Structure 1
Amino acid sequence: MIEAETFSVPQRPQMLAQPPYSFDLSVMYWAPTLALGGTLFALPKELTTDFQRLFTTINQLPIGVWTSTPSFVDMAMLSNDFNHETLPNLTHFYFDGEELTVKTAQKLRSRFPKARIVNAYGPTEATVALSAVAITDEMLATCKRLPIGYTKADSPTFVIDENGNPLPNGEQGEIIVSGSAVSKGYLNNPERTQAAFFEFNGLPAYHTGDLGIMTDHGMLLYGGRMDFQIKFNGYRIELEEVSQNLNKSTYIKLAVAVPRYNKDHKVQNLLAYVVLKEGVAEQFECQLDITKAIKEELKDIMMDYMMPSNSSIVTVYHSHRMGKSILKA
């Protein structure tokens, strides 16, 4: 199970408050900071989109503890100045919200050789961190995918088969979490609640939809998603919902949203394959203009993080190409 030493947050921590307060990951910085009499350094949203100002600001802060999604530290490492020489006080890194890849952790270790790197895992429905582990050099040298840790005592966690039966250690199945940390369900959405929340061994439980393996030592290993739900930049995105919203555009006849993964099994970007309605292409000078028009039309019904980028909306001129081959891309 998770022990206090796994996190080992120092007294009076100087913490970077990067994830927004509406993001459950924020609990991992404001709660320990308040409890331990520390200081929070908040970054305005507009600053996080201006890389030059962002790097300059971070390098001037006396940060000792870093809590973010792996994507955000990837962005920070675009600056060569993000290292232990520029930030000598930065000794602790805590990650949650999406998969921490070996590549990201190795690069971070090279920048901060003596820092403690903790990889945490847990769905929002189970109150942030379900499991955690301090990443070792041995893990970085031998693992294809980093472990996601030992679970909390109050959150009995199991790996089950398609029939809901617990699997032996070492076999892959769906990760489910139970216990007091599991929420009551989704607000005003009884159908989703009934599908995802249930009772297991007399305790409230939740289907994470994540594949995993439990080792003999109680370490939880992550194996990816079971469905068409993905994590991108720390946000959970239902691909079906993105496709449905794209299909509301007056320019689009048919649309399918798919993730593009890199070699580290991490979502690199979100692609949208679209078939335009007849005559739409002739209204615009280029693909970029079509994309801008689609995004402008849908901006009020789609969150920014769900919208494919300008370079990621691909026009397909024959609807028969929108089949299973794209969904498996």
Structure 2
Amino acid sequence: MPAHAAVWPARLPAKITPPATSLWMNLAISALRYPDKAALVFMGRAWTFQDLLSSAEQMARQLAAIGVKPGDRVVLDMQNCPQLVITHFAILRLDAVVVPVNPMNRAEELKHYITDPDTRVAVTTADLAPDLAQASDALPPEQRLQHLVVTQFTDVFDPDAVGPEDLPEAWRSWLLPVRALPVMVSGQAHAWRELMSARTTADLPEVKAGPDDLAVLPYTSGTTGLPKGCMHTHGTLMHNAMASGLWGNGTPENVTLCVVPMFHITGMVSVMHTSILLGASLVIMPRWDRDVAGHLISKWRVTHWTNIPTMVIDLLGSPHMDSYNLNSLVYIGGGGAAMPEAVAQRLLDQFGLRYVEGYGLTETAAPSHTNPPDAPKKQCLGIPFMSVSSHIVDPETLAELSPGESGEIVISGPQVFKGYWKRPEATAAAFFERDGKSFFRSGDMGRVDEEGYFFMTDRLKRMINASGFKVWPAEVEALMFRHPAIQEACIIATRDAYRGESVKAVVVLRQDHKGKVTEQDIIDWCRENMAVYKMPRAVSFVDALPKSGSGKVMWRALQEAEMAALDTETKPQPQ
């Protein structure tokens, strides 16, 4: 019996048997059960499940008309909006494969998402279309996109009917302009609005995809090389869509705030697919804004919110926080970074909410570990998720380690991806067999305690070596969050002539502490509150930390900038 059996939610089985059907059927069935229930809410407008089904079928007909066939990879490049959900399910309706792309990518990066999955059709928003067209035009003719479907954000809402609470001034120049279709060297651009209004009598083909058929090809970046496509089937995603709903006491009455991006595996699976499977409602935000979030939670009585901890920190720091009503929330949790203990305690003390941290990767279809909602531990990855077997192993020998020892987290379960697209060597290196099971090597360092809870110690390659002492940045960051002046902090390495490496903190101060706290004040506080080898020897104040499209702090970008600056300082100057 695993160590975590004692804290396993008594209401839940350790393993589940997910539906052996296409993900499309989740929408079709929910539309049969709840035709008039709100499926999506965006800019004050609600789409019923019947509306969503009809829209997805219409887009599927149009995609079929331009040549999309079962197994074809179709790029989906947009921020959160109803068109993303509609198109995602339209692609699945044709037994084709969704290639979700981070909308922060630019033309040079986008070439890879056209050539690697052999994409011929892409769907995007008008603000991003020029980059996709530019990427396609720069490729050899045989590799270019043949069709580019372009939607305006205003295709799905009336700007005159939306108030400033839903549409803040900062978003208007982004969401409201109607942009011209790009002119492509070859291939054809299509207006979403025209395709959605086109009349067709063509029958859609029968849905034949099963659990083992490819459904989604999300890309993940490593420390080197181009991003790799993770082959996820209907079965791998179906498991975690169902399990996520069960774990969070999900029912059709859930109202979920969808602000984590749906191009990312967490937003796609644990938010979008889980809600569609449950017949629940998704309140969609196109990007993060703390006051829009506070308004939407209050107005729509949001019950469930999966997020990045930085979002919670930001919302709690809003000067308008007292005007928002969070009492409808019954579940709040997320991952991507540790929730600072002080912030988690405020959620519990002020709102009675226990923040449920989880852990997962693109390769594991989001959660592979999560905290029991009734017994969460702070700054903890949780226990192995439903149907998951996980261990801590020596990264060199793969021998299993004892509780308390730090090693690599390895995972086996039905939600684990089937390998990297066109990368057999990378796939082989990512897995090993033990006791008849295939284990995925996460590349993350962790430890497990005596009760079976897993804790992150850090990425294998994110470690600072100060005079032989190993400093794990995540631990130092968690400590620094206790300082009352610190809103966010990222720990990186800097060079040290004596120690080899020293710790540097890049810090965002709370608004009411700016100008009142110095870098030396932070260093002195750290000296008093943590082991001397862990404390930052240098502190740099910034207005904001760089974040990825999924909200994670991009520590590598800060690390690279630090080393580049040091190289410039030490380079001999011309006479």
Q: What range is the shorter-chain TM-score in? A: 0.5 to 0.7
**Counterpart amino acid of residue 340 in structure 2:** T
Q: Does the aligned pair in 1 maintain the 2:365–2:415 contact within 8 Å?
A: yes
Q: Are residues 212 and 84 of structure 1, via their aligned partners in 2, closer, same or farther at CA, if it must alter by over 3 Å?
A: farther
Distance 2:307 2:550 in 1: 19
Which residue in the other structure is 2:58 paired with?
none
Which residue in the other structure is 1:92 paired with?
331
Which residue in the other structure is 1:75 paired with?
314
Correspondent of 2:270 among 2, 22, 28 = 28
**Counterpart amino acid of residue 330 in structure 2:** T
Q: Does the aligned pair in 1 maintain the 2:389–2:413 contact within 8 Å?
A: yes
SS of residue in 1 equivalent to 2:477: coil
Distance 2:562 2:570 in 1: 15
Distance 1:53 1:150 in 2: 33
Q: CA RMSD in A?
A: 3.8
Q: Deviations over 1:192-231 (max 9, x none)?
A: 32332232332222111222222333222222222149xx
Q: Are residues 303 and 95 of structure 1, via their aligned partners in 2, closer, same or farther at CA, if it must alter by over 3 Å?
A: closer
After TM superposition, the structure 1 = structure 2 runs for residues 80-159 of structure 1, keeping only pairs within 5 Å, are 80-82=319-321, 86-112=325-351, 114-134=352-372, 139=377, 146-159=379-392
Which residue in the other structure is 1:298 paired with?
none
Which residue in the other structure is 1:227 paired with?
461
Distance 1:304 1:137 in 2: 27
Which residue in the other structure is 1:316 paired with?
565
Q: Does the aligned pair in 1 maintain the 2:444–2:460 contact within 8 Å?
A: yes
Displacement after TM superposition at 1:191 (Å): 3.9
**Larger Rg, first or second structure (1 or 2):** 2
After TM superposition, the structure 1 = structure 2 runs for residues 12-23 of structure 1, keeping only pairs within 5 Å, are 12-23=253-264
Correspondent of 2:489 among 238, 246, 268 = 268
Displacement after TM superposition at 1:101 (Å): 2.9
Distance 1:63 1:160 in 2: 40
**Counterpart amino acid of residue 260 in structure 2:** P
Q: Does the aligned pair in 2 maintain the 1:6–1:118 contact within 8 Å?
A: no
Which residue in the other structure is 1:9 paired with?
250
**Counterpart amino acid of residue 317 in structure 2:** L
Which residue in the other structure is 1:218 paired with?
452
Q: Does the aligned pair in 1 maintain the 2:291–2:320 contact within 8 Å?
A: no
Q: Are residues 56 and 217 of structure 1, via their aligned partners in 2, closer, same or farther at CA, if it must alter by over 3 Å?
A: closer
TM-score, normalised by the number of residues in structure 2:
0.38
- Report which stretch shifted further, 211-220 or 260-269: 260-269
Q: Are residues 213 and 111 of structure 1, via their aligned partners in 2, closer, same or farther at CA, if it must alter by over 3 Å?
A: same
Distance 2:441 2:393 in 1: 10
Q: Could you say which structure has the higher strand fraction?
A: 1
Distance 2:405 2:550 in 1: 38
Q: Deviations over 1:52-75 (max 9, x none)?
A: 545444443321111112122222
Distance 2:374 2:393 in 1: 28
Distance 2:375 2:345 in 1: 9
Distance 1:183 1:23 in 2: 15
SS of residue in 2 equivalent to 1:118: strand
Distance 1:19 1:304 in 2: 6
Displacement after TM superposition at 1:83 (Å): 6.8
**Counterpart amino acid of residue 258 in structure 2:** A
Matched, 1:169 2:418: no
- Report which stretch shifted further, 128-137 or 213-222: 128-137
Displacement after TM superposition at 1:158 (Å): 0.9
TM-score, normalised by the number of residues in structure 1:
0.64
Displacement after TM superposition at 1:16 (Å): 0.4
Q: Does the aligned pair in 2 maintain the 1:260–1:271 contact within 8 Å?
A: no
Which residue in the other structure is 2:436 paired with?
202
Q: Report percent identity of matched pairs.
A: 23
**Counterpart amino acid of residue 369 in structure 2:** S
* Aligned length, in residue pairs: 254
Runs (5+) with no aligned partner, structure 1: 141-145, 230-258, 274-301, 323-329
Distance 1:217 1:121 in 2: 17
Q: Does the aligned pair in 2 maintain the 1:12–1:33 contact within 8 Å?
A: no
Q: Are residues 135 and 263 of structure 1, via their aligned partners in 2, closer, same or farther at CA, if it must alter by over 3 Å?
A: farther
- Report which stretch shifted further, 18-27 or 262-271: 262-271
Distance 2:349 2:324 in 1: 12
Distance 1:93 1:58 in 2: 12
Distance 2:314 2:367 in 1: 23
**Counterpart amino acid of residue 151 in structure 1:** P
Q: Are residues 60 and 153 of structure 1, via their aligned partners in 2, closer, same or farther at CA, if it must alter by over 3 Å?
A: closer
Q: Are residues 155 and 303 of structure 1, via their aligned partners in 2, closer, same or farther at CA, if it must alter by over 3 Å?
A: closer
**Counterpart amino acid of residue 30 in structure 1:** M
Q: Does the aligned pair in 2 maintain the 1:260–1:268 contact within 8 Å?
A: no
SS of residue in 1 equivalent to 2:367: coil
Which residue in the other structure is 1:181 paired with?
415
**Counterpart amino acid of residue 264 in structure 1:** A
Q: Are residues 260 and 178 of structure 1, via their aligned partners in 2, closer, same or farther at CA, if it must alter by over 3 Å?
A: closer
Displacement after TM superposition at 1:263 (Å): 3.1
Q: Does the aligned pair in 2 maintain the 1:147–1:222 contact within 8 Å?
A: yes
Q: Are residues 303 and 55 of structure 1, via their aligned partners in 2, closer, same or farther at CA, if it must alter by over 3 Å?
A: closer
